[in-house]
Chain A
Amino acid sequence: MSFTVSDSDKTVTLFVCLGIGLTASVLWAGIAPLSGQAEASATQLANAETFRWNKPTWAPTPPVPADNPMSEAKVSLGRFLFYDKRLSVDNTMSCGSCHQQARAFTDGERLHRGVNGLPGKRNAMTLTNVAYLPSYTWANPSITSLERQMLIPLFGDHPLEMGMVGHEAELYTRLSGDRDYPRRFRATFPEDGGRIDLRNISRAIAAFERTLLSFDSPYDRYKHGDPNAISRAAKQGEALFFGERLECYHCHSGLNFTDNYTQQGLKFPETGFHNTGLYNEDGMGAYKSSDHGLRDITSNDEDEGAFRTPTLRNIAVTAPYMHDGSLPTLESVIGQHYAIKGHAALSPNGPNPLRSDFIEGFSISDAETNDLVEFLRSLTDQQFLTNPAFADPSTGPRQANAAR
């Protein structure tokens, strides 16, 4: 095979015909400075437009950052990285350690644990439909992309999570020495020769996370044509959920049962951070000094104890609940928290005066609580929890062992 650099268009065509094997990728990298970049951008744009989202047609398309278009190769690479323990300083933790598929990508712990074995600061959040969120973590409006969110678990000092702070060079060395990664990075990021760096690592993982879509719960099927998809109890619970007595839906609204939502083409994303009255340490509404929620970021007094409304999709498998995992069951969240003007009502200081206007308490019978929980259970998407495409590629899907 012989060719000249000046004849690069034909060369590229030839490579496409050959498929992007190892040899072709090396040659591709060689010609990239002349024509590869433009070609790659065009290819990526095409991929972004043709990328097939694993979602029903009634679900809107999630937004995708302009500099990180979706592609099958990227999602596949991101999936390997998501489950790769080499992303932690002592090779013991991957993203999947705290985000386990069977638990809708949570870990069942009150507080996530880091490589040092110590409990962290907050409850690991679900990755269900995380692509539709305008901001990430429990309360940080400035973290607006998954690409940047993951820098916190990867490189945070306190709490220590994956512990890679200061070790980025070692991370690149580890991945560069892998049998498959160099080839996969080149195939995924031809525009820069498949550089194994933080930008490409984070873009790949984020692309995988954006595919974690859950729209096949019994409630989804009920809403879209199957009147028998959920039980009679769940239907009664649905009525309670959307009723003015309980007020749940004011914050847990919309496609993902949260008032934090964006989609492709939406100009003004919805955001909602609320103090639900979980604590009242000083009688004036203070949360525990370990976590003041949104206020720790904005320094605004009125943001004391405010946290982002989490989605309720798959909520039945993501216990324990609240930002600090302090409430063990859905029943306790209803009966020991929302029904009584917030959990702080049980403390000597009484209900939190800074809590949301919608947290006014309600009376609810045991039967009604059961109905409400049945409704919440109808949001559990078994297909999502067992989809092989989301599982650790080295071990395949795990048996769901989380409580339903």
Chain B
Amino acid sequence: MNASLLYKITVVALLLSISSAKAQTDLSSTQHVEVSFTGRLAGKPFACGSQYESVGSKKSTVTPQDLRFFVSDIDLLDANGATVPVSLDQDGIWQYKSVALVDLEDGTGGCRNGNAAMHPAVTGVVPAGHYVGLRFSVGVPYELDHGDPLTAPSPLNMTAMFWNWQFGYKFIRAEVTALPVPHAAGNGENAEPPAATGTGSASQVVDKSQRRSSGFAVHIGSTGCGNGSATVDPDHECKRPNRALVTLSQFDPAKDVVVFDLDRLLAESDVTENSPDTPPGCMSGENDSDCLPIMRALGLPYRDSPAVEQVVFYAEPKQ
């Protein structure tokens, strides 16, 4: 029995040494890859503290509140369309296993739930080769989405991305606040709400509560995750995973940047209005009509609307 055990150990050890030798070989012919992201709003670069005009279906004036999202399972595409996984640098902060948090907010201005640190570029290694495209998933993979956030490593311990009521993480946290439109004849203190449709003097007696700037939040995450059991963690994929798949057939990491285009995300949304009795904006709820155009822009199926090609992410040359 001891001899048999010794034999097994030897075989395993040999196999391990072979596989590690193979990894060594691969490492010697790998190349570093950096995938850069940028946010776009009203056709301009996304930046906390800035004002943007003409956003959404009602051409509203807004200021950003947040823009963070998880990307995972990043592949480069070779000329034949084959996918080659990018092995992410494990930096202990932004990137863990196959998932990375892209953070395009810097905590200034209206980004009050944010912080100064940003992470606009995801880094890793791929086997040396010639690549022409990029593919990634927007979200946290199922295997990592339902662990204990109290013991999870960074970036899965960042509370801004917690989505505890759905037992997972927010995949996308994109928020803007519509700014009250200044009264034509008044000073900045007497701002009128953008939604006020009253005429002349009538609009001067608007309920004070309406003067508050109204936030429009896009929080995308998996829903339908409970399995009905109070004792068993979700043991299968959620009913609506809500992970957008992005395929950019022409993308050169050295020359191109991935754009997260909030104009396209919010194109059909009135960011000053919210469907009654639903969370502000779209928080992935099943019965929130505000979610319909958002989900469609991300290519995600929603209610009777089928999965389509996403339009929010695209590639363009670095500036």
B is bound to A = yes
Binding site for B on A (CB under 8 A): 134-135, 137, 140-144, 147-148, 151-152, 154-158, 164-169, 198-199, 202, 260, 268-269, 271, 288-290, 292, 294, 296-300, 303
Residues of B within 8 Å of A144, CB to CB, are 230-231
Residues of B within 8 Å of A156, CB to CB, are 164-165
Residues of A within 8 Å of B283, CB to CB, are 157-158
Q: Which of A151, A158, A165, A297 interacts with B149 by CB under 8 Å?
A: A151
B117 CB, nearest partner CB in chain A, Å = 10
Residue of B nearest to A299 (CB): B224
Known A158-B279, A165-B113; further 12 A-B contacts with Cβ < 8 A:
A141-B228, A141-B230, A142-B227, A151-B150, A154-B159, A156-B164, A157-B217, A199-B150, A289-B277, A289-B278, A290-B278, A299-B240
Interface size class of B (residues with CB under 8 A): 35 or more
Task: Enumerate 13 A-B pairs (CB-CB under 8 Å) in ascending A order.
Answer: A135-B230, A148-B164, A165-B159, A166-B158, A167-B113, A168-B158, A198-B149, A199-B151, A260-B230, A290-B277, A294-B226, A299-B239, A299-B286
Closest 9 CB pairs of A and B: A299-B224, A166-B113, A166-B160, A135-B230, A290-B277, A297-B226, A142-B167, A134-B230, A298-B226
B110 CB, nearest partner CB in chain A, Å = 13
B280 at the interface (CB under 8 A from A): yes
Q: Which of A167, A297, A303 interacts with B159 by CB under 8 Å?
A: A167
Residues of A within 8 Å of B224, CB to CB, are 297-299
B77 at the interface (CB under 8 A from A): no
In the bound assembly, the distance between CA atoms of A5 and B281 in angstroms comes to 58
In the bound assembly, the distance between CA atoms of A294 and B148 in angstroms comes to 21
B2 CB, nearest partner CB in chain A, Å = 31
Could you tell me which residues of chain B, from 44 to 63, have a CB within 8 Å of some CB in chain A? none
Binding site for A on B (CB under 8 A): 112-115, 148-151, 157-160, 162, 164-167, 217, 219, 223-231, 233-234, 239-240, 276-280, 283, 285-287
Asked whether, in the complex, the Cβ of A143 is within 8 Å of the Cβ of B164, the reply is: yes
A135 CB, nearest partner CB in chain B, Å = 4
Residues of A within 8 Å of B223, CB to CB, are 299
Asked whether, in the complex, the Cβ of A142 is within 8 Å of the Cβ of B159, the reply is: no
Q: Which of B150, B277, B279 interacts with A147 by CB under 8 Å?
A: B150
Residues of B within 8 Å of A169, CB to CB, are 115
Residues of B within 8 Å of A168, CB to CB, are 157-159
Asked whether, in the complex, the Cβ of B159 is within 8 Å of the Cβ of A155, the reply is: yes
Residues of A within 8 Å of B219, CB to CB, are 157
Residues of B within 8 Å of A147, CB to CB, are 150
When A152-B164, A292-B287, A298-B224 are in contact, do A269 and B278 touch as well, CB less than 8 Å?
Answer: no
Residues of B within 8 Å of A294, CB to CB, are 226, 228
Residues of B within 8 Å of A300, CB to CB, are 228
Asked whether, in the complex, the Cβ of B157 is within 8 Å of the Cβ of A198, the reply is: yes
Asked whether, in the complex, the Cβ of A158 is within 8 Å of the Cβ of B280, the reply is: yes
Asked whether, in the complex, the Cβ of A166 is within 8 Å of the Cβ of B114, the reply is: yes
Residues of B within 8 Å of A141, CB to CB, are 226-230
Asked whether, in the complex, the Cβ of A297 is within 8 Å of the Cβ of B230, the reply is: no
In the bound assembly, the distance between CA atoms of A199 and B147 in angstroms comes to 13
Asked whether, in the complex, the Cβ of A152 is within 8 Å of the Cβ of B159, the reply is: no
When A199-B151, A299-B240 are in contact, do A271 and B160 touch as well, CB less than 8 Å?
Answer: no
Q: Which of B150, B157, B225, B276 interacts with A148 by CB under 8 Å?
A: B150
